[in-house]
């Protein structure tokens, strides 16, 4: 195991509650709005909503970050105030391939491209994983379909799942479906 | 043993993946970083040349590394790999992209090989705690947050170079009234670090002013960290601040007077 990868002791101590939380039904107000400009990265949009679970774990929120005005680059995070690390569950798309280096399996199985989910394993270490449902989705996966996949995997709302992405005070943007990250860039 | 080699090769080969992104390819390589990511490189074509690039992922922080390019040790490490692997850089979509080119299709693989090693090295290197001055990193971050918050979107660009080939990065750069304004951050947890930081800022500004006409630079402003009076008011620091104030062209602005910045930029 890598020296850098350490178990989250706080979550290990409440592992049972953690598992119950992850598996429990959760509810947020729909539609989920992603409309705030990130103060540090002006091309990023953020959204946050209070999240209630039937098996709660502190006060929890669902957070979304969409990077570079690109609907193929985003994360959904479930955060709590119950542990210092805050992160309980996460989905990533378009920001790189995770290496589950702490798992005692061959390296090709440690490699998890996006889109993928993250949750804390029995050893207290957060790992990335995919599911058959996620593997069957188009790749790259746009944020609307990604939100559906996220809600299903983490049991957030059963129906009426909607996500609105636009800057505050403006009309919803039409994002180009073009996921080419190098479009328009010259290489002298 | 023959079986072992086969299994190593099979597993290793299975680490390559490709994603088609418009006219570019994202290639997931077997290279890794100590921040637990596999390195991706992007391949595209410009004219009859292939371009192999990190896609801006290093400068966007996707590898979860905080590159301290102002830190001497890391700067040397970074420059070493840039030169050793013959990496070029350019700016696009507000980010720095590192790249190599290949004219010949069969040499694309060489460029992928070198660029992925480069990414692995500079990202993993960024996770090494050199004698980094934590104070410098946190103060620099506060200034950046302030500039992003208090000024209109897009007013400042951060960590920019005057020209793509220059090795000097400025803390922030604005473009107001048809001119460029440069902002540097001066800080340090002790008088030695502080003095080094001020000297570096002065030197960078002097260099920039030598190109003032060409690059249309009309302001060079150093934001001075005065949050630790014992350092800021220490004689060893004051001596250099006084000297700098007397030099023509230098604008020194203590952090506690940051509200004056917007006037200074356009005055």
ipTM entry: 0.85
Report the residue of chain B nearest A69, measured CA to CA. Answer: B93
Which of B145 and A80 is assigned the larger pLDDT? A80
Determine whether the interchain pair A185/B90 forms a contact, defined as Cβ–Cβ distance below 8 Å.
Answer: yes
Q: Considering only CA atoms, which of B225, B226, B224, B218 is closest in space to residue B249?
A: B218
Range of the domain at A111: 9-165
Q: How far apart are CA B246 and CA A43, in angstroms?
A: 40
Could you tell me if B143 and B194 lie in one domain? yes
Q: Are residues B115 and B203 in the same domain?
A: no
Q: Quick one: which of A178, A181, A144, A155 has its CA closest to A34?
A: A144
Are B63 and B168 within one domain?
no
* Chain A residues with CB-CB distance to B164 below 8 A: 188
Q: State the average pLDDT over residues B205-227.
A: 88
pLDDT in tens, B66-80: 777 767 788 899 999
Cα of A54 to nearest chain B Cα, Å: 33
Q: End-to-end distance of chain A based on CA atoms, in angstroms?
A: 43
User: Which residue is closest to A188 within chain B, CA to CA?
Assistant: B90
Q: Is residue A180 in a domain?
A: no
In this prediction, residue B133 carries a pLDDT of: 66
Do B181 and B85 sit in the same domain of this protein?
no
| Among B67, B99, B126, residue at a domain's last position | B126
Question: Can you read off the two tokens belonging to residue B5?
Answer: 């080699």
Residue B187 pLDDT class (50, 70, 90 cuts)? very high
Taking the CA of residue B149 and the nearest CA in chain A, the distance in Å comes to: 6
Cβ atoms within 10 A of the Cβ of B92, count? Answer: 18
**Domain identity same for B108 and B167:** no
pTM of the model as a whole: 0.70
Residue B171 and residue B109 share a domain: no
Using CA atoms, how far residue B113 sits from A99, A133, B27, B55, B66, in Å, is: 19, 33, 11, 15, 24
Is residue A46 situated within a structural domain?
Answer: yes
User: CB-CB: which of A40, A99, A185 is closest to B36?
Assistant: A99
**B43-55 confidence digits (pLDDT tens):** 999 999 999 999 9
Q: What's residue A3's pLDDT?
A: 43
* Mean pLDDT, rounded, for A110-135: 96
Cα distance between residue B106 and residue B73, in whole Å: 36
- Give yes or no for B154 touching A (CB within 8 A): yes
- Asked whether the predicted pLDDT for residue B88 surpasses 80, the reply is yes
Contact at CB, B40 and A108, closer than 8 angstroms: no
Choose one of B98, B126, B154: the last residue of a domain: B126
β-pairing, A60-66 with A163-165? unpaired
Contact call for residues B126 and B68 (beta carbons, < 8 A): yes
Q: Calculate the average pLDDT of chain A.
A: 90
A176 located within any domain = no
Q: Check pLDDT > 80 for residue A5.
A: no
A37 interface with B at CB cutoff 8 Å: yes
pLDDT bracket for residue B167 (50, 70, 90): confident
Shortest Cα–Cα distance, A31 to chain B (Å): 27
Residues B146 and B252 in one domain: yes
Q: A182–B92: do the CB atoms touch at under 8 Å?
A: yes
Same-domain pairing of B168 and B187: yes
Contacts of A139 in chain B (CB under 8 A): 19
Residues of chain B found within 8 Å of residue A184, distances taken between Cβ atoms: 92-93
Please tell me whether residues B234 and B173 are part of one structural domain. yes
| Enclosing domain of residue B74 | 2-126
Q: Which residue has the tokens 């060409």?
A: B214
Taking residues B161-171, what's their average pLDDT? 81
> Which residues share a beta bridge with B52?
B43, B100
In chain A, the residue whose alpha carbon lies closest to the alpha carbon of B92 is A185
Interface contact B94-A111, CB threshold 8 A: no
Measured on CA atoms in the order B153, B154, B155, B160, is the torsion positive or negative?
positive
Chain mean pLDDT for chain B: 89
Other beta carbons within 10 Å of A136: 9
CA nearest to B10 within chain A: A108
Pairs from B76-80 (Cβ < 8 Å, separation ≥ 24): B77/B121, B77/B122, B77/B125, B78/B122, B78/B125, B79/B167
Q: What is the mean pLDDT of residues A127-135?
A: 96
Where among B86, B109, B126 does a domain terminate? Answer: B126
Higher pLDDT residue, B104 or A5? B104
Quick one: pLDDT band at residue A61, thresholds 50, 70, 90? very high
Nearest CB partner across the interface for A98, out of B36, B60, B94: B36
Nearest to A4 by CA among B128, B94, B81: B128
Tell me, letter by letter, the H, E, C secondary structure of chain B: CHHHHHHHHHHHHCCCEEEEECCEEEEEEEEEECCCEEEEEEEEEECCEEEEECCCHHHHCCCCCCCCCCCHHHHHHHHHHHHHCCCEEEEECCEEEEEEEECCHHHHHHHHHHHHHHHHHHHHHHCCCCCCCHHHHHHHHHHHHHHHHHCCCCCEEEEEECCCCCCCEEEEEEEECCEEEEEEEECCCCHHHHHHHHHHHHHHHHHHHCCHHHHCEEEEEEEECCCCHHHHCCHHHHHHHHHHHHCCCCEEEEHHHHHHHHHHHHC
**Cβ of A119 under 8 Å from any chain B Cβ?**
no
Please check whether residue A149 lies inside any domain of the structure: yes
Interface test with B, best of A127, A181, A188 (most B CBs within 10 A): A181
B97 touches chain A (CB under 8 A): yes
Does residue A1 surpass a pLDDT of 50?
Answer: no
**Rg (chain B; Cα; Å):** 22
For the stretch B230-245, pLDDT in tens is 889 888 899 999 988 8
Asked if the model's pLDDT at residue A41 lies above 80, the reply is no
Spatial contact of A141 and A115, defined as CB atoms under 8 Å apart = yes
User: Stretch A140-151: mean pLDDT, rounded?
Assistant: 95
Q: Tell me, what's the pLDDT at A170? A: 58
The pLDDT score that the predictor gives to residue B80 is: 95
**Quick check: B99 pLDDT over 90?**
yes
**Structural domains in chain A (count):** 1
Establish if A188 touches chain B: CB-CB under 8 angstroms. yes
Residues B104 and B61 in one domain: yes
- Tell me what pLDDT residue B131 has: 62
Note whether residue A187 is domain-resident. no
What is the predicted pLDDT for the residue at A2? 39
Omega of the bond prior to A31 within 30 degrees of 0, cis? yes
**In the numeric block, which tokens belong to residue A77?**
């995070």
Domain annotation covers residue A182? no
Q: Based on the domain organization, do B7 and B61 belong to the same domain? A: yes
**pLDDT at B10 (0 to 100):** 93
> Total structural domains in chain B?
2
Tell me if the bond preceding A140 is cis, omega within 30° of 0: yes
pLDDT in tens, B104-152: 999 999 999 999 999 999 999 988 877 656 777 888 889 988 998 888 8
Q: Name every chain A residue with its beta carbon within 8 A of the beta carbon of B55.
A: 181-182
Give contacts of B24 with chain A, Cβ < 8 Å.
180-183
The arithmetic mean of pLDDT across residues A140-148, rounded, is: 94
Range 57-86 of B in CB contact (< 8 A) with A = 57, 60, 62-63
Confirm whether A75 is domain-assigned.
yes
Do the domain assignments include residue A48?
yes
- B259 and B172 share a domain? yes
């Amino acid at each position: 195991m890598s020296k850098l990868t350490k178990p989250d002791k706080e979550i290990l101590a409440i592992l049972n509650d953690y598992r119950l939380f992850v598996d429990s039904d959760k509810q947020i107000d729909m539609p989920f709005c992603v409309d705030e400009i990130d103060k540090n990265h002006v091309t990023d949009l953020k959204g946050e909503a209070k999240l209630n679970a039937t098996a709660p774990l502190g006060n929890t929120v669902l957070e979304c970050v969409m990077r570079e005005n690109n609907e193929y680059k985003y994360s959904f995070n479930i955060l709590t105030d119950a542990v210092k690390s805050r992160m309980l569950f996460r989905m990533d798309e378009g920001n790189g391939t995770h290496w589950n280096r702490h798992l005692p399996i061959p390296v090709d199985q440690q490699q998890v491209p996006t889109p993928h989910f993250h949750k804390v394993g029995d050893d207290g270490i957060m790992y990335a994983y995919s599911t058959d449902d996620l593997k069957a989705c188009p790749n790259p996966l746009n944020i609307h379909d990604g939100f559906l996949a996220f809600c299903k995997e983490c049991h957030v709302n059963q129906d009426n799942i909607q996500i609105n992405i636009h800057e505050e005070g403006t009309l919803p943007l039409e994002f180009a479906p073009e996921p080419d990250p190098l479009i328009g860039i010259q290489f002298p | 043993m023959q079986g072992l080699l086969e299994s190593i090769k099979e597993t290793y080969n299975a680490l390559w993946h490709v994603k088609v992104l418009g006219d570019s390819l994202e290639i997931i390589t077997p290279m890794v970083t100590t921040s637990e990511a596999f390195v991706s490189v992007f391949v595209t074509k410009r004219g009859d040349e292939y371009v192999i690039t990190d896609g801006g992922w290093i400068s966007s922080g996707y590898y979860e590394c905080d590159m301290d390019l102002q830190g001497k040790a890391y700067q040397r490490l970074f420059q070493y790999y840039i030169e050793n692997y013959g990496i070029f850089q350019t700016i696009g979509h507000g980010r720095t992209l590192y790249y190599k080119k290949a004219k010949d299709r069969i040499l694309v693989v060489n460029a992928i090989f070198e660029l992925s090693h480069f990414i692995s090295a500079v990202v993993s290197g960024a996770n090494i705690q050199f004698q980094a001055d934590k104070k410098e990193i946190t103060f620099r971050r506060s200034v950046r947050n302030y500039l992003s918050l208090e000024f209109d979107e897009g007013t400042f660009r951060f960590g920019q170079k005057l020209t793509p080939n220059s090795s000097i990065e400025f803390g922030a750069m604005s473009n107001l009234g048809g001119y460029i304004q440069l902002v540097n951050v001066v800080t340090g947890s002790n008088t030695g670090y502080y003095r080094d930081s001020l000297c570096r800022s002065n030197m960078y500004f002097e260099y920039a002013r030598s190109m003032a006409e060409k690059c249309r630079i009309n302001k060079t402003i150093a934001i001075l960290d005065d949050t630790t009076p014992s350092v800021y008011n220490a004689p060893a620091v004051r001596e250099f601040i006084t000297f700098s104030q007397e030099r023509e062209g230098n604008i020194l602005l203590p952090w506690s007077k940051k509200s004056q910045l917007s006037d200074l930029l356009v005055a």
